Structure 1
Amino acid sequence: MPTVEADALESFARTALVEAGAPADAAGAVASSLVDADLAGHTSHGVVRVPWYVEGVATGDVDPDAEPSVESAGPFAQVVGGAAFGQLVGRRAVETLVETTRDRGVAAVGIRDSGHLGRIGEWAERVAGEGLLFASWVNLQGGAQRIAPHGSADRRLGTNPLTFAVPAFGALPFDPVYDGATSQVAHGKVIERDGSGERLPEAWTVTDSGAPVEHAADFEAGEGALLPLGGRETGYKGFGLATMAELFAAVVGGGPVATEPDQAWRGNGAAFLAVDPAAFTTPEAVAGKVEALAEHVRSADP
């Protein structure tokens, strides 16, 4: 596999987005986030998304000139994307979240009408980097659903990721972050294989016959659905988590729930929450807990 320098990759993504109609500043922000995802090892949310975003601009699902707005009341706010690139919405949401949490000790920000928010772990890392706890629930507004309920092959929900982060305050070289879809895999993993021609692993999908979808192109054409996290045996757990993410994002963000499977809308709604641990303890105590847990986990036999 060829290696491409990060700067060159970012330049490519930025140029492609500008040529699609995005302002230079917006294209630069989106390209930076996509390359950040690639560098973090999450290539399903990296520059592989550029053609998807360009298509979104062409179809009107993404407004390249839109700027997100903020509606706030005390420690609570909603960021209305207006179909802007999700990376712009995510930045605005994090800025609002951090600023409000600094003042109030806790804050919640809802998001609606956003383009694809990208790697949610980026937003978690930014908040944890400010010394704050982070949690989020994300849904896919409108149509383009991917996950089937446990025991079905009909698409009913998006991949609805759950994301959490805890500041390590120097106890580790990174802040602990969990960022994962509530399906067996993120939809981006399917997109990657659509480009490579690889067959889809059997554990990812299901069709009406109970068999998996073999090829990504068939899945993208509407065949089958992604299995919820837990797969064929215990997928009720993943679908339960996906359902709660759907509702949290819709209630806090103010957007719709997934009731229109045939609508070709690719945007996200979300609920972001931040808590200042200083309201409960000290940074030294948090660092001690993080370090103790890390050592306990690492002590397990391979």
Structure 2
Amino acid sequence: LIRVPQYLKEIRSGEIDPRARPKQTRTRGAVSWVTGKAGFGPVGGLYAGRRAVAAARKHGVGLVIATELGHTGRLGAYAELIAAARCVAVIFGTGPKRGHIVAPFGGIDGRLSTNPIAYAVPNGTAPVVADFSTSALPEGKVRSARNLGTRLPEGALQDPAGNPTHDPNVLYGKPRGSLLPLGGANFGHKGYALGLLVEAMGTLLGGGEIDDASRTGFNLTILAIATRPGFERSTGRLVSYLRSARPLDPKRPVMVPGDPERLARRHTTVDVDEPTWREMVAFARDLAVELPLQ
């Protein structure tokens, strides 16, 4: 929900065309190229995910390179779609130069986006799903901390001089600070390496250049791999084996990726911070839309 005001602003500015529909532009064997035509990112992402599944069913593997998308939102949603079709999913996401808020390991200036990776492994109705940025924190978490007036954890953000800071406002200042790669100051070389891989898979395979300031859209590279009969049974054994490890805290059993989110959906409500809600109320008033909650 924190992205809803952002999307509405992008529609007003013309950055997003709400009427645009994604289109497959060319195909070569199991590989397809898709343009989002500056439409909603989730619409293009779901379209690309379905194309990847169709190719995987035909060729055993499907690779879709999608460009000119609006902000793509949660990559895990596309991975879950692919896993529901009994395929393994691996997804890479990149953004335009204006979103280069992640510093290279040992650097100060932002040179990468948060460059998320998502994957999903079929496991009946509870696939193993992971969706994470290759930066120390996703930008949305920093934005939420700014809205809530809370501090960031150690080793996530640095100011424009390269000094560590807990203040989320630093990322949105002029000049702005930068996020550290996943792993922080000590182990960020690993997150940096992953972020570079995502850039190659998302931007370069999509025909883009990382320093092209004229590029405005987001890219997704989606890989779907068809599975053999009995694969999900093997996944179930893997998951059971992992969960069988003795927990450090008996009140917190060992989980696999996707478990915490499923539990959260079952037991909690959706929290919206006050600044985001005020923006949504203002937009609703301007657009004559009645909100279900006030």
Return the letter of the residue paired with 1:291: G
Q: Does 1:52 align with 2:2?
A: no
> CA contact under 8 A between 1:144 and 1:264: conserved in structure 2?
no
**Correspondent of 1:232 among 169, 185, 189:** 185
Query: Superposition pairs for residues 139-288 of structure 1, below 5 Å?
Result: 139-168=94-123, 170=124, 173-221=125-173, 222-254=175-207, 256-260=208-212, 263=213, 267-278=217-228, 282=229, 284=230, 286-288=231-233
Q: Over aligned residue pairs, what C-alpha RMSD do you find? A: 1.8
Counterparts in 2 of 1:64 and 1:213: CA distance versus 1, 3 Å = farther
Equivalence for 1:109: 64
Return the letter of the residue paired with 1:214: H
Query: Superposition pairs for residues 26-105 of structure 1, below 5 Å?
Result: 47-73=1-27, 74-105=29-60
Identity %: 32
> CA contact under 8 A between 1:213 and 1:224: conserved in structure 2?
no
Q: Does 1:293 align with 2:246?
A: no
Instruction: Choose between structure 1 and 2: higher helix proportion.
Output: 1
Give runs of ≥4 in structure 1 deviating > 6 Å: none
Gaps of at least 5 residues in structure 2 are 249-294
Return the letter of the residue paired with 1:51: P
What CA distance in whole angstroms lies between the structure 2 residues aligned with 1:223 and 1:251?
A: 26
3-state SS in 1 of match to 2:140: helix
3-state SS in 2 of match to 1:253: coil
What CA distance in whole angstroms lies between the structure 2 residues aligned with 1:287 and 1:84?
A: 35
Counterparts in 2 of 1:196 and 1:154: CA distance versus 1, 3 Å = same
Counterparts in 2 of 1:271 and 1:75: CA distance versus 1, 3 Å = same
> CA contact under 8 A between 2:68 and 2:216: conserved in structure 1?
no
The two structures have a TM-score, normalised by structure 1, of 0.76
Equivalence for 1:12: none
Greater alpha carbon shift after TM alignment, 95-104 vs 115-124: 95-104
Return the letter of the residue paired with 1:251: L
What CA distance in whole angstroms lies between the structure 2 residues aligned with 1:257 and 1:185?
A: 24
3-state SS in 1 of match to 2:240: helix
> CA contact under 8 A between 1:145 and 1:258: conserved in structure 2?
no
What CA distance in whole angstroms lies between the structure 2 residues aligned with 1:66 and 1:299?
A: 48
Return the letter of the residue paired with 1:89: G
Gaps of at least 5 residues in structure 1 are 1-46
| 1:138 shift after superposition | 1.2
| 1:200 shift after superposition | 2.1
Greater alpha carbon shift after TM alignment, 125-134 vs 89-98: 89-98
What CA distance in whole angstroms lies between the structure 2 residues aligned with 1:257 and 1:189?
A: 27
CA deviation string 1:97-146 (max 9, x = no partner): 11222222211000111101110000000000010111111111332211
3-state SS in 2 of match to 1:103: helix
The two structures have a TM-score, normalised by structure 2, of 0.78
CA deviation string 1:61-102 (max 9, x = no partner): 212222111123232111101211101101211121112222
What CA distance in whole angstroms lies between the structure 2 residues aligned with 1:94 and 1:287?
A: 20
What CA distance in whole angstroms lies between the structure 2 residues aligned with 1:72 and 1:175?
A: 31
How many pairs were matched up? 245
> CA contact under 8 A between 1:161 and 1:180: conserved in structure 2?
yes
What CA distance in whole angstroms lies between the structure 1 residues aligned with 2:191 and 2:183?
A: 6
CA deviation string 1:179-233 (max 9, x = no partner): 1100011111011112212122232112244433333233122421011011000
Counterparts in 2 of 1:199 and 1:266: CA distance versus 1, 3 Å = farther
Return the letter of the residue paired with 2:158: V
What CA distance in whole angstroms lies between the structure 2 residues aligned with 1:77 and 1:151?
A: 37
What CA distance in whole angstroms lies between the structure 1 residues aligned with 2:224 and 2:205?
A: 14
What CA distance in whole angstroms lies between the structure 1 residues aligned with 2:243 and 2:18?
A: 45
